[in-house]
Amino acid sequence: MFSGLILGCKNEKSVSEDTKEELADNGLTTVETAIGPMELVAPFASESVTKNSEVIEWPEDKMPIAPEGFTVSRFADGFEHPRWTYVAPNKDIFVAEANTKNSADRITMLRDANNDGEVDERHIFIEGLNQNFGMLVLDNFFYIANTDGLYRYPYKEGQTKLEGEGEKIVELSASGYNNHWTRNIITNKERNKVYISVGSASNVGDQGMEKEERRANILEVNPDGSG
């Protein structure tokens, strides 16, 4: 029973057609769970199905319901797959726009200069990234976590565009079929370390554990990338 279940968890492409047919004929398997017995169909007895969510526009006459005494208003829109926001110490807001396919690979900067809850300035902060996600202002640098590495750029508070190529200070693996490509970053209270979250290369190590080197990890580095 267990060998059949384990084979069923492998990457479908690595299982031969004969093996699929053999497993599909196994019938139902009863397993004990925390909520009682559960019957599982045999591996490959039915077609694999992918069901993605559909992104729809928020209705013009609707808004999220806020607690009493609060209201919700639209702050900014018109982004391409906004994945993460970062608020800098000076209150500038940075939006990472990236995706698995057809990625915008940019950061948009928003500024509410008079604190009235509306965007007064909007700038393309940087383009030409590689599936960017995490952002951080530390000392005189702006850090960006691309899927393939941690980069830092010279930065002065209040600037509206990053210049130059930046410096790649940490190499990160960008391989893996399962699209765990986001890399987030944060510093500590002392602001002398940077922590990088790195997703796994697959779900169950089925690409080989060598592909999981420094994956499914939180990495600690110094601000210059050493350590």
CA 216/CA 204 separation, integer angstroms: 11
Residue 111 domain-assigned? yes
CB within 8 Å of 156: residues ≥ 6 apart: 140
Same domain membership, residue 117 and residue 179: yes
213, pLDDT greater than 80: yes
Percent of the chain with pLDDT over 70: 93
> Strand order in 183-187's β-sheet?
183-187, 194-198, 217-221
Q: Please name which of 151, 153, 185 lies closest in space to residue 170, comparing C-alpha atoms.
A: 151
Same domain membership, residue 206 and residue 139: yes
For the chain, give the mean pLDDT.
89
Same domain membership, residue 192 and residue 109: yes
Query: Which residue type does 128 have?
Result: G
Residue 52 domain-assigned? no
Query: What pLDDT is attached to residue 145?
Result: 98
CA 75/CA 64 separation, integer angstroms: 13
Residue 58 domain-assigned? no
210, pLDDT greater than 60: yes
pLDDT in tens, 68-81: 999 998 899 999 99
Both structure tokens of 116: 């009235």
Same domain membership, residue 112 and residue 16: no
Confidence class for position 13, pLDDT limits 50, 70, 90 = low
Average pLDDT of span 24-42: 87
**CATH at residue 167:** 2.40.128
* Predicted model pTM: 0.78
Domain of 12 in residue numbering reads as 2-40
Query: What pLDDT is attached to residue 2?
Result: 40
CA 58/CA 72 separation, integer angstroms: 13
Query: What pLDDT is attached to residue 12?
Result: 53
Domains held by the chain: number? 2
3, pLDDT greater than 80: no
